[in-house]
Amino acid sequence: MRISIWSTVVSMFLGASSFAAERPNILFIFTDDHASHAMSCYGSKINETPNLDRIADEGMLFRNCFCTNSICGPSRAVIQTGKYSHKNGFYMNGDQFDGTQQTFPKLLQAAGYQTAVIGKWHLGEHMPPQGYSYSDVLVGQGPYYNPPMLRDVDGSGDQERIKRTGYTTDIITDLALEWLKSGRDESRPFMLMYQHKAPHREWAPGPDHLTMYDDVDIPEPDNLFDDYATRGRAAREQDMTIATTMTPRDLKLVPPPYLNEEQLEVWNAAYGPKNRAFEKANLEGDDLVRWKYQRYIKDYLRCIASVDDNVGRVLDYLDETGLADNTVVIYSSDQGFYLGDHGWFDKRFMYEESYRMPLLIKWPGVTEPGSVNTDLVSNVDFAETFLDIAGVDIPGDMQGASLVPLLRGETPDDWRKSHYYQYYEFLNDRRTAHMVRRHYGVRTARYKLIHFYNIDEWELYDLASDPREMRNLYGEPQYQDLIQDLKAEIVRLQEELEVPDDAGSVEPNPPSLKIR
């Protein structure tokens, strides 16, 4: 009898503890502006990312993950809430995220998860991150070296400001590892958002990578000298070209202002000789653009090399401690980026390079190693996916869908066949960053229809025959039936997603979103 009671107690205890153990940990690794065409697992022609590739090799690579609004803060707000910008209220950079609203970390926390965010937050400093047991985040964009950070050790909202010395990508990783080693409550599963500033503009490499690629030429994209023929005013009138928009600081012709004396010395030893050679060459015209491309892309890839090294440190730690067995590891970035494509850097447009997000997910025992998914998925799906992984009920007002069936290799028959996009950051009478016109659009497996609604210009692309989106088919007669179908699909999606007619408008008389 006594033995039987004891065994019941033991089995209850083991039962409870094995339930906790069964719920997987979630490690969300996130970068800023990392385009998938700068990852070797996506077929990059310009760099190698061996550690990110480990996640793809051990898990699933999503070929068609798209953001709903291709810019930093808004993408983060979508991920927090599982809702489009017009529902979570964060339309453009400079907005302040309403942290009192429902978010997936809050729901995980309520379900017993220990939640943490370390690194870039970029949803405003007006309130500390909410829904986290621990946060240690950059202030705003955060510099590449010696970042001031805000730490809240218990989720109370009291933040301590700490300025750290070193390279930010390394520091964020050190802090994430420190939290994994000694910050965790081992009786509970965790969800850690480990989020880098890199490889955001101005692409300042770390001390270990300042001369990487010095002796090689990086291949140029085939449309570096795009003339925007067949495209409309939006593509022609933007302010994000490698040729004209980049500043001396972007191009490292002047050093970053935040380096200390020792860092500056290392920096100048690397860039000084390169800059002197550039001055001596006296380049003009296309040759100058080609030089700027090389300078830009090498710095961008150097920043990624540092991210890759650091992700390797974290993956090693998970492997060595055995945590890897029950941890879902996700890699993504808030949007893609132009790597000289169309002559550009930056993002914002619904064209493929900035609309597409990298997405790798490894879930031991669930995702088949080395598998590839081509369904249309989105950052609006992330919150629901994380809740589903944790076995937490998904609220009805979230607007995405859980990727868990896809991770199991079983795409539901009713999975989305089209994806809705909307970008807002253009203020009619004020100069806004990069001057990309507001637009919305729809993408299907094969086609994309975009409406620059303030100027009522349309663009249609056949992604099968024109994956680089160089030929706008909108005016061509043979596509008129298709265009009507895609317009009807936009109307359907705007209704389904409850997009208001004046979504994100700051003008007194907003141009109508509605299709005329």
Q: Which is nearer to Ca ion, 32 or 136 (CB)?
A: 32
Which structure tokens are listed for 97?
Answer: 């995220």
Q: Among 30-38, 76-84, 423-431, 478-486, which window interacts with Ca ion (CB under 5 A)?
A: 30-38
Distance CA 225, CA 210 (A): 28
Q: Which one of 26, 29, 30, 33 is in contact with Ca ion (CB under 5 A)? A: 33
Smallest gap from residue 334 Cβ to Ca ion (A): 4
Binding mask 127-146 for Ca ion (x = CB under 5 A): --------------------
Q: Is 52 helix (H, G, I), strand (E, B) or coil?
A: helix
Residues 280-339 that bind Ca ion (CB under 5 A): 334
Q: Which is nearer to Ca ion, 58 or 425 (CB)?
A: 425
Smallest gap from residue 435 Cβ to Ca ion (A): 17
Please state the length of the chain: 516
Binding mask 171-210 for Ca ion (x = CB under 5 A): ----------------------------------------
Q: Which is nearer to Ca ion, 72 or 175 (CB)?
A: 72
Smallest gap from residue 122 Cβ to Ca ion (A): 8
Distance CA 478, CA 481 (A): 8
Smallest gap from residue 282 Cβ to Ca ion (A): 35
DSSP track, 274-336: HHHHHHHH---HHHHHHHHHHHHHHHHHHHHHHHHHHHHHHHHHHHHHTGGGGEEEEEEESS-
Q: Which is nearer to Ca ion, 380 or 473 (CB)?
A: 380
Q: Which is nearer to Ca ion, 245 or 444 (CB)?
A: 245
Residues 63-82 that bind Ca ion (CB under 5 A): 72
Smallest gap from residue 33 Cβ to Ca ion (A): 4
Query: Which residue's C-beta sits nearest to Ca ion?
Result: 72
Does residue 32 interact with Ca ion by CB under 5 A?
yes
Distance CA 103, CA 105 (A): 6
Q: Which is nearer to Ca ion, 81 or 472 (CB)?
A: 81
Q: Among 27-35, 96-104, 146-154, 210-218, which window interacts with Ca ion (CB under 5 A)?
A: 27-35
Smallest gap from residue 354 Cβ to Ca ion (A): 9
Helices (DSSP H) in 230-284: which residue ranges? 233-237, 261-281
Q: Which amino acid is at 442?
A: V
Q: What strands lie across the sheet with 377-378, from one edge to the other?
A: 356-357, 65-66, 377-378
Q: Which is nearer to Ca ion, 29 or 259 (CB)?
A: 29
36: which residues sit within 8 A by CB, 6+ positions away?
42, 336, 356, 357, 358
Q: Which is nearer to Ca ion, 75 or 114 (CB)?
A: 75
Smallest gap from residue 335 Cβ to Ca ion (A): 5
Smallest gap from residue 351 Cβ to Ca ion (A): 16
Q: How many residues sit close enough to Ca ion to count as binding (CB under 5 A)?
A: 4
User: In 10 A of CB 59, how many CB atoms?
Assistant: 24
Q: Among 31-39, 114-122, 211-219, 381-389, which window interacts with Ca ion (CB under 5 A)?
A: 31-39
Distance CA 78, CA 60 (A): 22
Q: Which is nearer to Ca ion, 72 or 360 (CB)?
A: 72
| b/e burial code for range 68-93 (CB count within 10 A of at least 16 → b) | bbbbbbbbbbbbbbbbbbbbbebbbb
260: which residues sit within 8 A by CB, 6+ positions away?
145, 146, 165
Smallest gap from residue 65 Cβ to Ca ion (A): 15
- What is the 3-state composition of the chain as percent helix, strand, coil, each rounded to the nearest 5? 35, 15, 45
* Unique residue bearing structure tokens 């699933």: 60
Of the chain, the end-to-end C-alpha distance in Å amounts to 80
Q: Which is nearer to Ca ion, 347 or 419 (CB)?
A: 347
> Binding residues for Ca ion, per CB under 5 A?
32-33, 72, 334
